[in-house]
């Protein structure tokens, strides 16, 4: 018997919003790898429409 599973996972690309010249924009990172507070503010705005669906 074949089961079908609904996919409830969406991929949201935030990198295009926080990168500069193919690197994490220094305004949005604390160490070149992890987002800073400013980075998370951008992240929040980008994912908000998907969370509100």
Give the model's pLDDT for residue 17. 96
Which residue spans within the chain are E strands per DSSP?
A: 19-20, 23-24
Instruction: Write out pLDDT tens, residues 13-34.
Output: 999 999 999 999 999 999 999 9
Q: How many residues does the chain have?
A: 53
Note the pTM of the prediction, 2 decimals.
0.74
How far is Cα 39 from Cα 43, in angstroms, rounded to an integer?
6
Instruction: Write out pLDDT tens, residues 35-48.
Output: 999 999 999 999 99
How far is Cα 12 from Cα 30, in angstroms, rounded to an integer?
22
Which two tokens mark 37? 């507070």
Using DSSP, how many helices (H) and how many strands (E) does the chain show? 2, 2
């Amino acid at each position: 018997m074949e089961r079908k599973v609904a996919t409830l996972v969406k991929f949201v690309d935030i990198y295009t919003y926080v990168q500069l010249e193919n690197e994490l924009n220094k305004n949005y990172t604390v160490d070149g790898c992890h987002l800073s507070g400013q980075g998370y503010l951008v992240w929040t705005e980008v994912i908000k429409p998907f969370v509100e669906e």
